[in-house]
Protein backbone atom coordinates (compact mmCIF):
# COMPACT_ATOMS: atom_id res chain seq x y z
CA UNK A 1 0.00 0.00 0.00
CA UNK A 2 1.32 3.41 -0.97
CA UNK A 3 2.08 5.74 1.92
CA UNK A 4 2.55 9.50 1.43
CA UNK A 5 3.16 12.04 4.20
CA UNK A 6 3.81 15.76 3.81
CA UNK A 7 6.80 16.24 6.13
CA UNK A 8 7.74 19.84 5.32
CA UNK A 9 6.40 22.76 3.30
CA UNK A 10 6.63 26.51 2.80
CA UNK A 11 4.66 28.17 5.61
CA UNK A 12 1.39 29.68 4.39
CA UNK A 13 2.17 28.56 0.82
CA UNK A 14 -0.80 30.17 -0.94
CA UNK A 15 -0.22 33.58 0.65
CA UNK A 16 3.49 33.28 -0.19
CA UNK A 17 2.65 32.70 -3.87
CA UNK A 18 0.21 35.62 -3.90
CA UNK A 19 2.69 37.99 -2.21
CA UNK A 20 5.42 36.98 -4.66
CA UNK A 21 3.10 37.75 -7.56
CA UNK A 22 2.15 41.15 -6.11
CA UNK A 23 5.80 42.16 -5.72
CA UNK A 24 6.10 42.54 -9.48
CA UNK A 25 3.41 45.23 -9.57
CA UNK A 26 3.78 46.90 -6.16
CA UNK A 27 6.22 49.21 -4.44
CA UNK A 28 5.51 47.54 -1.09
CA UNK A 29 7.78 44.97 0.48
CA UNK A 30 6.89 41.29 0.21
CA UNK A 31 6.57 41.09 4.01
CA UNK A 32 4.05 43.95 3.98
CA UNK A 33 2.08 42.32 1.20
CA UNK A 34 1.97 39.05 3.15
CA UNK A 35 0.38 40.86 6.09
CA UNK A 36 -2.17 42.79 4.02
CA UNK A 37 -3.45 40.05 1.72
CA UNK A 38 -6.89 38.86 2.82
CA UNK A 39 -7.87 35.22 2.16
CA UNK A 40 -10.34 36.29 -0.54
CA UNK A 41 -7.63 38.31 -2.29
CA UNK A 42 -5.24 35.36 -2.18
CA UNK A 43 -7.86 33.06 -3.69
CA UNK A 44 -8.73 35.57 -6.41
CA UNK A 45 -5.07 36.22 -7.28
CA UNK A 46 -4.19 32.53 -7.51
CA UNK A 47 -7.10 32.01 -9.89
CA UNK A 48 -5.93 34.93 -12.03
CA UNK A 49 -2.37 33.59 -12.14
CA UNK A 50 -3.59 30.16 -13.23
CA UNK A 51 -5.97 31.46 -15.90
CA UNK A 52 -3.33 33.79 -17.35
CA UNK A 53 -0.62 31.12 -17.34
CA UNK A 54 1.62 33.28 -15.12
CA UNK A 55 2.99 30.38 -13.07
CA UNK A 56 6.45 31.53 -11.97
CA UNK A 57 5.16 32.80 -8.57
CA UNK A 58 4.12 29.21 -7.76
CA UNK A 59 7.80 28.28 -7.67
CA UNK A 60 8.14 30.11 -4.32
CA UNK A 61 6.17 27.43 -2.44
CA UNK A 62 7.62 23.96 -2.06
CA UNK A 63 6.44 20.71 -0.51
CA UNK A 64 8.45 17.74 0.78
CA UNK A 65 6.87 14.28 0.90
CA UNK A 66 7.89 10.98 2.44
CA UNK A 67 6.83 8.24 0.04
CA UNK A 68 6.81 4.51 0.73
CA UNK A 69 5.35 1.35 -0.80
CA UNK A 70 5.87 2.15 -4.46
CA UNK A 71 7.67 -0.12 -6.92
CA UNK A 72 10.88 0.63 -8.73
CA UNK A 73 8.71 0.77 -11.86
CA UNK A 74 6.98 3.85 -10.47
CA UNK A 75 10.08 5.48 -8.98
CA UNK A 76 11.70 5.26 -12.43
CA UNK A 77 8.71 7.14 -13.89
CA UNK A 78 8.73 9.63 -11.06
CA UNK A 79 12.33 10.79 -11.39
CA UNK A 80 11.74 11.70 -15.03
CA UNK A 81 10.24 14.89 -13.59
CA UNK A 82 13.52 16.74 -13.24
CA UNK A 83 12.32 19.97 -11.62
CA UNK A 84 12.28 18.24 -8.25
CA UNK A 85 14.62 16.73 -5.66
CA UNK A 86 14.68 13.05 -4.75
CA UNK A 87 16.51 10.97 -2.17
CA UNK A 88 15.77 7.28 -2.59
CA UNK A 89 16.58 4.26 -0.45
CA UNK A 90 19.73 2.71 -1.86
CA UNK A 91 19.89 -0.96 -2.80
CA UNK A 92 23.68 -0.65 -2.55
CA UNK A 93 23.66 0.07 1.18
CA UNK A 94 20.33 -1.27 2.46
CA UNK A 95 20.01 -5.05 2.70
CA UNK A 96 16.81 -6.41 1.19
CA UNK A 97 16.78 -9.62 3.19
CA UNK A 98 13.31 -8.54 4.32
CA UNK A 99 11.87 -8.21 0.82
CA UNK A 100 8.57 -6.58 -0.17
CA UNK A 101 7.25 -6.19 -3.69
CA UNK A 102 4.24 -4.89 -5.61
CA UNK A 103 1.72 -7.12 -7.37
CA UNK A 104 -0.48 -5.35 -9.93
CA UNK A 105 -4.21 -6.13 -9.73
CA UNK A 106 -4.20 -7.28 -13.36
CA UNK A 107 -1.79 -10.04 -12.40
CA UNK A 108 -3.68 -10.93 -9.21
CA UNK A 109 -6.78 -11.45 -11.34
CA UNK A 110 -5.09 -14.22 -13.30
CA UNK A 111 -4.77 -17.15 -10.90
CA UNK A 112 -2.14 -19.29 -12.61
CA UNK A 113 -0.12 -16.32 -13.83
CA UNK A 114 -0.21 -14.78 -10.36
CA UNK A 115 1.27 -17.97 -8.92
CA UNK A 116 4.04 -17.92 -11.53
CA UNK A 117 4.65 -14.23 -10.82
CA UNK A 118 5.14 -14.81 -7.08
CA UNK A 119 7.30 -17.85 -7.81
CA UNK A 120 9.54 -15.84 -10.12
CA UNK A 121 9.90 -12.89 -7.72
CA UNK A 122 10.64 -15.16 -4.76
CA UNK A 123 13.15 -17.15 -6.78
CA UNK A 124 14.96 -13.92 -7.70
CA UNK A 125 15.03 -12.92 -4.04
CA UNK A 126 16.28 -16.36 -3.02
CA UNK A 127 19.15 -16.01 -5.49
CA UNK A 128 19.86 -12.53 -4.08
CA UNK A 129 20.18 -14.00 -0.57
CA UNK A 130 22.36 -16.83 -1.87
CA UNK A 131 24.68 -14.30 -3.48
CA UNK A 132 24.95 -12.31 -0.25
CA UNK A 133 25.82 -15.48 1.66
CA UNK A 134 28.51 -16.19 -0.93
CA UNK A 135 30.11 -12.82 -0.24
CA UNK A 136 28.85 -10.96 -3.28
CA UNK A 137 28.34 -7.29 -2.36
CA UNK A 138 24.77 -5.95 -2.19
CA UNK A 139 25.48 -3.53 -5.04
CA UNK A 140 26.07 -6.51 -7.36
CA UNK A 141 23.55 -8.98 -5.91
CA UNK A 142 20.77 -6.45 -6.49
CA UNK A 143 21.06 -6.99 -10.25
CA UNK A 144 18.73 -9.99 -9.97
CA UNK A 145 15.96 -8.13 -8.15
CA UNK A 146 12.83 -7.30 -10.17
CA UNK A 147 11.38 -3.85 -10.76
CA UNK A 148 8.48 -4.95 -8.56
CA UNK A 149 10.71 -4.34 -5.53
CA UNK A 150 9.27 -1.83 -3.08
CA UNK A 151 11.18 1.36 -2.48
CA UNK A 152 10.91 4.51 -0.38
CA UNK A 153 12.06 8.04 -1.02
CA UNK A 154 11.75 11.69 -0.10
CA UNK A 155 10.54 14.05 -2.82
CA UNK A 156 10.50 17.84 -2.88
CA UNK A 157 8.60 19.77 -5.55
CA UNK A 158 7.57 23.38 -5.89
CA UNK A 159 3.93 24.18 -6.52
CA UNK A 160 4.43 24.94 -10.21
CA UNK A 161 5.98 21.54 -10.83
CA UNK A 162 3.26 19.84 -8.78
CA UNK A 163 0.63 21.42 -11.04
CA UNK A 164 2.51 20.21 -14.11
CA UNK A 165 3.19 16.69 -12.85
CA UNK A 166 -0.38 16.19 -11.65
CA UNK A 167 -1.66 17.38 -15.03
CA UNK A 168 0.09 14.31 -16.49
CA UNK A 169 0.08 11.74 -13.71
CA UNK A 170 -3.53 12.13 -12.58
CA UNK A 171 -4.67 11.37 -16.11
CA UNK A 172 -6.62 8.11 -16.14
CA UNK A 173 -4.38 6.92 -18.97
CA UNK A 174 -1.31 7.10 -16.73
CA UNK A 175 -0.26 3.85 -15.05
CA UNK A 176 -2.41 2.96 -12.04
CA UNK A 177 0.38 3.07 -9.46
CA UNK A 178 1.60 6.58 -10.26
CA UNK A 179 -2.04 7.79 -10.41
CA UNK A 180 -2.58 6.43 -6.90
CA UNK A 181 0.68 8.05 -5.76
CA UNK A 182 -0.33 11.52 -6.94
CA UNK A 183 -3.86 11.18 -5.63
CA UNK A 184 -2.25 10.80 -2.20
CA UNK A 185 0.18 13.65 -2.86
CA UNK A 186 -2.81 15.86 -3.73
CA UNK A 187 -4.63 14.79 -0.53
CA UNK A 188 -1.59 15.85 1.53
CA UNK A 189 -1.36 19.25 -0.20
CA UNK A 190 -5.09 19.75 0.34
CA UNK A 191 -4.56 19.68 4.12
CA UNK A 192 -2.39 22.82 4.06
CA UNK A 193 -3.21 24.52 0.73
CA UNK A 194 -6.72 23.61 -0.47
CA UNK A 195 -6.86 26.34 -3.13
CA UNK A 196 -3.64 25.08 -4.65
CA UNK A 197 -4.75 21.45 -4.36
CA UNK A 198 -7.79 22.31 -6.48
CA UNK A 199 -5.37 22.98 -9.36
CA UNK A 200 -3.78 19.53 -9.09
CA UNK A 201 -5.82 17.80 -11.78
CA UNK A 202 -5.49 16.24 -15.23
CA UNK A 203 -4.64 18.74 -17.96
CA UNK A 204 -7.86 17.97 -19.85
CA UNK A 205 -9.83 19.89 -17.22
CA UNK A 206 -7.83 22.99 -18.05
CA UNK A 207 -7.73 22.42 -21.82
CA UNK A 208 -11.36 21.38 -22.19
CA UNK A 209 -10.33 18.48 -24.41
CA UNK A 210 -8.00 15.45 -24.36
CA UNK A 211 -4.71 15.95 -26.21
CA UNK A 212 -3.91 12.24 -26.23
CA UNK A 213 -4.56 10.05 -29.28
CA UNK A 214 -7.37 8.34 -27.38
CA UNK A 215 -9.54 9.81 -24.62
CA UNK A 216 -10.52 8.04 -21.40
CA UNK A 217 -14.01 9.43 -22.05
CA UNK A 218 -14.10 12.41 -19.68
CA UNK A 219 -13.35 14.88 -22.50
CA UNK A 220 -13.31 14.40 -26.29
CA UNK A 221 -10.01 14.43 -28.13
CA UNK A 222 -8.98 17.54 -30.02
CA UNK A 223 -9.73 15.72 -33.28
CA UNK A 224 -13.24 14.92 -32.04
CA UNK A 225 -13.75 18.55 -31.04
CA UNK A 226 -12.70 19.57 -34.56
CA UNK A 227 -15.15 17.12 -36.11
CA UNK A 228 -18.03 18.48 -34.02
CA UNK A 229 -17.10 22.03 -35.02
CA UNK A 230 -17.09 21.06 -38.69
CA UNK A 231 -20.51 19.39 -38.39
CA UNK A 232 -21.97 22.55 -36.82
CA UNK A 233 -20.75 24.60 -39.75
Is 9 among the domain residues? yes
- Cα dist from 119 to 10, 11, 143, 197, whole Å: 46, 48, 18, 41
List, in sequence order, every residue forming a beta bridge with 71; answer none if it has no partner. Answer: 150
| Per-residue pLDDT at 229 exceeds 80 | no
Report d(CA 225, CA 106) in Å as an integer: 33
215 plus 171 within the same structural domain: no
Report d(CA 166, CA 158) in Å as an integer: 12
pTM tops 0.75, yes or no: yes
- Average pLDDT (132-140) is 98
| Per-residue pLDDT at 114 exceeds 60 | yes
List, in sequence order, every residue forming a beta bridge with 63; answer none if it has no partner. Answer: 9, 157
Looking at residue 231, its pLDDT comes to 62
197 plus 217 within the same structural domain: no
163 plus 196 within the same structural domain: yes
50 plus 162 within the same structural domain: yes
| Per-residue pLDDT at 149 exceeds 70 | yes
| Per-residue pLDDT at 233 exceeds 60 | no
| Per-residue pLDDT at 72 exceeds 60 | yes
Looking at residue 60, its pLDDT comes to 97
Looking at residue 29, its pLDDT comes to 84
Q: What is the mean pLDDT of the chain?
A: 94
Is 79 among the domain residues? yes
Looking at residue 232, its pLDDT comes to 62
Of the pLDDT bands very low, low, confident and very high (cuts 50, 70, 90), residue 225 is: confident
Share of the chain above pLDDT 70, in %: 97
Task: Note if 233 is an active site residue.
Answer: no
Least Cα distance to 116 among 146, 94, 139 occurs for 146
| Per-residue pLDDT at 228 exceeds 80 | no
| Per-residue pLDDT at 73 exceeds 80 | yes
Looking at residue 25, its pLDDT comes to 82
> Worst-scoring range by mean pLDDT, 29-43, 48-62, 131-145?
29-43
| Per-residue pLDDT at 27 exceeds 80 | no
Of the pLDDT bands very low, low, confident and very high (cuts 50, 70, 90), residue 84 is: very high
Asked if 147 and 193 count as a contact pair (C-beta separation under 8 A), the reply is no
- Average pLDDT (121-139) is 98
Helix 176-192 and helix 159-169, axial crossing angle in degrees, nearest 10: 140
113 plus 38 within the same structural domain: no
| Per-residue pLDDT at 230 exceeds 80 | no
Catalytic residue among 72, 142, 160, 169: 169
Looking at residue 31, its pLDDT comes to 84
Is 93 among the domain residues? no
Is 158 among the domain residues? yes
- Cα dist from 73 to 3, 50, 117, 144, 202, whole Å: 16, 32, 16, 15, 21
Share of the chain above pLDDT 90, in %: 85
Looking at residue 214, its pLDDT comes to 87
Cβ burial 114-138 (10 Å sphere, 16+ → b, else e): eeebeeebeebbeebeebbeeeeeb
Is 91 among the domain residues? no
* Count: domains in the chain: 3
For residue 133, give its domain range: 99-144
Amino acid sequence: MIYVALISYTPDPERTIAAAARVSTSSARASQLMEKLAPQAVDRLLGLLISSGHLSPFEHASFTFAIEGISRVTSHQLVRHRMASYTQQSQRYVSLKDFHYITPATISAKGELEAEYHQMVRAAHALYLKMLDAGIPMEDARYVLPQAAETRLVMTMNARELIHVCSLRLCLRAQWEIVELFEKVKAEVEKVAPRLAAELKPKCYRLGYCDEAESCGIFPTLAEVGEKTQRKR
